[in-house]
Structure 1
Amino acid sequence: MSADPHEPALVLSGATKSFGANLAVDGVSFSLAKGHVHALLGGNGSGKSTLIKMLAGVERGDGGTVAIRGHSIPLAEMTPARATAAGLRFVHQQRSTFPELTIAENLAIGGNGFPVGAGGRVRWRAARREAARVLAKYDIDAHPDQLLGELGPARQAMVAIARALQTGHADNGILVLDEPTVSLPDTEVRLLLDAVRRHADQGQTVLLVTHRLEEVFSVADNAILLRNGQLVAEVAPRSITRADLVELIVGRAVDEIAPDTSAERGPIVLEAQSLCAGPVGPVDLTLHAGEVVGVAGLVGSGRSSLLKSLFGVLPIESGSVRLHGTALRLGTPRDAMRAGIAFVPENRAEDAAFQELSVNDNMSVAVLLDYWRGGRLRAGVQRRDARDLLSRFLIKAQSVDESLSALSGGNQQKVIVSRWLRRAPQVVLLDEPTQGVDVGARHEIYLLIREAVEAGAVALVASSDSEELAAICDRVLVLRGGRIVGELSRDELTSSRVERLAHGQEKEVTL
């Protein structure tokens, strides 16, 4: 008997999960229609990640079921093997592909394995043929023998999606994409979303987890909204305004516009002349007190490297850096910290967060010596200051003793930002400060950045999100090939101009 074409691809009923006294997912029920893109939305801590882990069998549910093709599985009994057998396919934010291997090797590792012949030898010609078939099926412009790392970020993500789908069937499986565009520049985002839309038009059911609302309006047929672990709404993006969607996500009206950027520009704080470091240079840079300066550019343009060189992470090979007219030696991060420079890196998980330590420890790690007196740690004062920071930076945590890993991504990011801003730095370097952060926490981070510069600091913000840069910056420097190829002032600053300069589609602006 053929399947009913109107039967939902997936039906989730009463999904529930607690961690101690914290009810992370509270009786969530929804269904996914075949051949549609469903956006799963919610603020940090809303329950999205826990729900995805329950569907994947990584976290056992306390209650509820998931039904796929009429076959019901209790969430308390879900395992990764059962999820795969049921037709669930996952592409996570931290992809498990291998850039240093070929596309054919990546597809074989994530699919049916390598074809082998006599004596267990790999049949490479057959592996390449199968890879070519998969690439053609999913409209990926690449060759099986190419190293995956040679592709742009969007095509690498497309290969990861093809790898997940190659052993399933579009008409009865569900593809779950967890923040697939989180680190992609705008043009790469469009390329990937076009591919997602094609998959859905060909019958694939997609559940897309994202914080980027523009993606919801451009590709999603339906939006499922969670807040505080509960389902609060299901809406069609075409029938709702952006402001209303933001209010549903956050639970209150939120002004998405960044804080006012019309503050008076103060004296020069930081200057770099003919700076060369790794892939960057030569670069001339002048930063004034009271301003937020953006750094734009494609992947590999040198955005992150520029910030790392100013914090002593990447060795400066030539050129000079001056702070208030005094030459700096930035051989190590300690040198930068002593000079009053702070750095929030792009990769929070690997380079900034101590996940298993407490919120208190994470907040105080950059000022730890301040709490030592006579060979003893003044733990009471440390904890009192941490509680004050929770309030000041609007961080949601049960207590300062809670493990950082227990916090949502947005609250973890605010802990990292608070770690540095409590030092009242003169220069604040922020690399992708709102990556993977919900719209409410994003606005709060913007406020914190503006508060710091109004106190006399200067902020240098690197971001792949040109709309973010256009919203929060007083001016934006555009890098290409390690050089500054343009500077856009507040009056001429638009996301489209940033993108055109980054891609070399607009004449370089002489500085």
Structure 2
Amino acid sequence: MNEHMRSESASAEPGSRVALAAEDISKTYGATRALDEVSLEVSSGAIHGLMGGNGSGKSTFIKMLAGVVTPDQGRLALQGEWIEARSHTPARAKASGLHFVHQQNSTFPDLTVAENLALGRGFESTTLKSIDWKAQKARSRRVLDRFEIDVAADTHMVRLSPAAQMMVAIARALQDQDETDERGVLVLDEPTASLPKHEVDVLLTALRRYAADGQTIIYVSHRLEEVTAIADEVTVLRNGRVASRLVGAEISHDSLVAGITGSVAAKQAGTVPRGSGVVDSRVHLSHVAGFRETALTLRRPSLTEVDDETLLLRAGEIVGVAGLLGSGRSRLLKQIFGAVPRDDLEVTLNSGPVPPSDVRAAMKKGIAFVPENRLREAALPELSIAENLSVTCLSDHSRAGWIKPSRERKAAQRLIKEFGVRAPSASAPLTALSGGNQQKVILARWLQRRPTVLLLDEPTQGVDIGARNEIHELVRAAAAAGTAVLVVSSDFGELASLAHRAVVMSGSEIVDSIDGPLTEDILNDVVYAQEKSL
């Protein structure tokens, strides 16, 4: 990331006119005070960072701005006009120029990229008022090129990775900002959660360009380095209250940590303050020598090299998989799990070969898989937390083929406590939980089986910094108990802090390996060196 990104753009101070203001916003859910008299001002033409740990109130505040959560009290100023916040609605939000890109996918999977982009502004039309598909595709291609999204305009969204889908959603929201004088407020909720560094830099550069052109942006992120790089002003929430307000040179790594946690986290190499809710991508684990026996071996016999061993993973080891979008990272995990064809890849555990294209056999052998798209591929959103936890071990909760709810509930209560899931009860639906707590439920679902190999694809995508740290601790605990972990992440800082070593993928092949200790810079250098050599 360009460390001068914010300082260079800050030469022109944000306009003194306030684009959006909130005053004394409060929201209570039962005994929980989600927002407690929150007040803030967002300057016109500024990038305003909104930060906070798990349960800080960020999500509730954003939902209130969107008009989907009605606060108990307070008022809002939109385009200079104060209104009672309780009268704010989605229609009023849209009419006032508020535009949202949420961390959950807002695109339409059965439509093409061009159609999704058109839904943000309308279709190109002929003189006869019919859709001009040629012009529409040409315009979509220009938008995609501008945001460096390497997908075809006529590709259906469902075929894209979540990262590419998020980029299209952002492009849809921003596509007209160079073509109109209207300036509303763009709210981006964790927009880079699933993006590799190259796409992050492209996005941040584009956001600074739009802000310089007068666009006001509220940027919600758990990534401290992004906020320090681009934010002109920051509001930090903690426990539903405003913990700090920072402007210009006041915005630093330490000041953000102090606001989020209430104290400055230790920054010694290899140290992450337990329970602090902060993960610093500059912190990394030391390389751990002397791992146990081999847990997983991957081979491609078709390779011409004398050594056809592609990857060896040992018990207790955490190995990161680095690579750019489209490198084949996610597909490799699915191949190991048997969810997609393996081609010529051979998978062997310490218990023997794993049959291809057979998820059930992979599970019996001891392989667990947490996919990238939690909501679509892992969660059972309408079922209870207990039911979501039990699906991988139904036989443990049944008798004579019938599920015993009391057994299922008792086991769920134990797992909720063990994995630190913040839930009203085991009977509550999964949708009642935050994204971070949903992810902990998915992890607990698999880790209760004591797997030999745990496959993780973007394990902290779309979760806040508190939940991210907790998930990392759960993964480390599983590895310490003997599970071998293979983790894919677009955030090389996450890989550096979590993995003992890493392999690099390009063109659907493992092309390099990096022994620990890892750093984000090392991973970036090796990954981009491989891409340049192709």
What TM-score bracket applies, with the shorter chain setting the length? 0.7 to 0.9
Partner of 2:298: 272
Are the equivalent residues in 1 in contact too, given 2:285–2:500 (CA < 8 A)? no
1:195 to 203, 206, 210: 206
Q: Distance in 2 between matches of 1:116 and 1:158?
A: 27
Which sits farther off after the overlay, 338-347 or 356-365?
356-365
Does residue 16 of structure 2 align to residue 6 of structure 1? yes
Are the equivalent residues in 1 in contact too, given 2:147–2:203 (CA < 8 A)? no
1:226 to 219, 222, 237: 237
Offset of residue 44 of structure 1: 3.1
Which residue identity does 1:288 align to in structure 2?
R
Does residue 508 of structure 2 align to residue 498 of structure 1? no
Instruction: Kindly provide the CA deviation profile for residues 160-207 of structure 1, in whole angstroms up to 9, marking residues without a partner as x.
Output: 23246478645x421111221111101110110011011111211110
Offset of residue 461 of structure 1: 0.5
Does residue 314 of structure 2 align to residue 288 of structure 1? yes
Partner of 2:269: none
Which sits farther off after the overlay, 367-376 or 303-312?
367-376
Offset of residue 433 of structure 1: 0.8
Distance 1:248 1:395, change over 3 A: farther
Which sits farther off after the overlay, 215-224 or 152-161?
152-161
Which residue identity does 1:498 align to in structure 2?
L
Offset of residue 129 of structure 1: 9.1
Q: Distance in 2 between matches of 1:442 and 1:431?
A: 14
1:60 to 62, 67, 70: 70
Partner of 1:181: 192
Which residue identity does 2:235 align to in structure 1?
I
Does residue 130 of structure 2 align to residue 121 of structure 1? yes
Partner of 2:7: none
Distance 1:328 1:214, change over 3 A: same
Which residue identity does 2:172 align to in structure 1?
A
Distance 1:174 1:145, change over 3 A: same
**Gaps (5+ residues) in structure 2?**
1-13, 266-271, 274-278, 303-307
| 1:234-249 superposed matches below 5 A | 234-236=245-247, 238-239=249-250, 241-249=252-260
Partner of 1:413: 439
Partner of 1:445: 471
Paired residues, number: 495
Q: Distance in 2 between matches of 1:288 and 1:418?
A: 22
Are the equivalent residues in 1 in contact too, given 2:286–2:516 (CA < 8 A)? no
Offset of residue 102 of structure 1: 6.1
Which residue identity does 2:300 align to in structure 1?
S
Partner of 2:508: 482
Does residue 368 of structure 2 align to residue 342 of structure 1? yes
Which residue identity does 2:504 align to in structure 1?
V
Are the equivalent residues in 1 in contact too, given 2:295–2:349 (CA < 8 A)? yes
Distance 1:381 1:251, change over 3 A: farther
Offset of residue 5 of structure 1: 5.5
Does residue 94 of structure 2 align to residue 69 of structure 1? no
Partner of 1:468: 494
Which sits farther off after the overlay, 144-153 or 449-458?
144-153
Offset of residue 131 of structure 1: 7.2
Q: What CA RMSD, in Å, does the superposition of the two structures yield over aligned residues? A: 3.4
Q: Distance in 2 between matches of 1:244 and 1:312?
A: 46
Q: Distance in 2 between matches of 1:145 and 1:289?
A: 41
Are the equivalent residues in 2 in contact too, given 1:363–1:416 (CA < 8 A)? yes
Alignment identity in percent? 42
2:458 to 432, 456, 466: 432
Does residue 327 of structure 2 align to residue 328 of structure 1? no
Q: Distance in 1 between matches of 2:190 and 2:49?
A: 11
Q: Distance in 1 between matches of 2:148 and 2:505?
A: 27
Does residue 42 of structure 2 align to residue 32 of structure 1? yes
Instruction: Kindly provide the CA deviation profile for residues 108-147 of structure 1, in whole angstroms up to 9, marking residues without a partner as x.
Output: 43115544534x3345687689879x959x9657999955
Are the equivalent residues in 2 in contact too, given 1:8–1:32 (CA < 8 A)? yes
Q: Distance in 2 between matches of 1:454 and 1:131?
A: 49
Are the equivalent residues in 2 in contact too, given 1:275–1:284 (CA < 8 A)? no
Offset of residue 508 of structure 1: 7.7
| TM-score calculated relative to the size of structure 2 | 0.83
Q: Distance in 1 between matches of 2:414 and 2:255?
A: 33
Are the equivalent residues in 2 in contact too, given 1:429–1:459 (CA < 8 A)? yes
Offset of residue 358 of structure 1: 1.9
Offset of residue 27 of structure 1: 2.6
Are the equivalent residues in 2 in contact too, given 1:91–1:160 (CA < 8 A)? no
Offset of residue 489 of structure 1: 0.2
Does residue 405 of structure 2 align to residue 396 of structure 1? no
Partner of 1:303: 329
Partner of 1:356: 382
Partner of 1:279: none
Which residue identity does 1:410 align to in structure 2?
G
Q: Distance in 2 between matches of 1:245 and 1:36?
A: 18
Offset of residue 472 of structure 1: 1.4
Q: Distance in 1 between matches of 2:301 and 2:399?
A: 40
Are the equivalent residues in 2 in contact too, given 1:112–1:167 (CA < 8 A)? no
Are the equivalent residues in 2 in contact too, given 1:485–1:508 (CA < 8 A)? no
Are the equivalent residues in 1 in contact too, given 2:233–2:251 (CA < 8 A)? no
Which residue identity does 2:475 align to in structure 1?
I
Offset of residue 352 of structure 1: 1.2
Which residue identity does 2:324 align to in structure 1?
L
Instruction: Kindly provide the CA deviation profile for residues 342-395 of structure 1, in whole angstroms up to 9, marking residues without a partner as x.
Output: 111111111111222222222222112101124543333332322222222122
| TM-score calculated relative to the size of structure 1 | 0.86
Are the equivalent residues in 1 in contact too, given 2:148–2:202 (CA < 8 A)? no
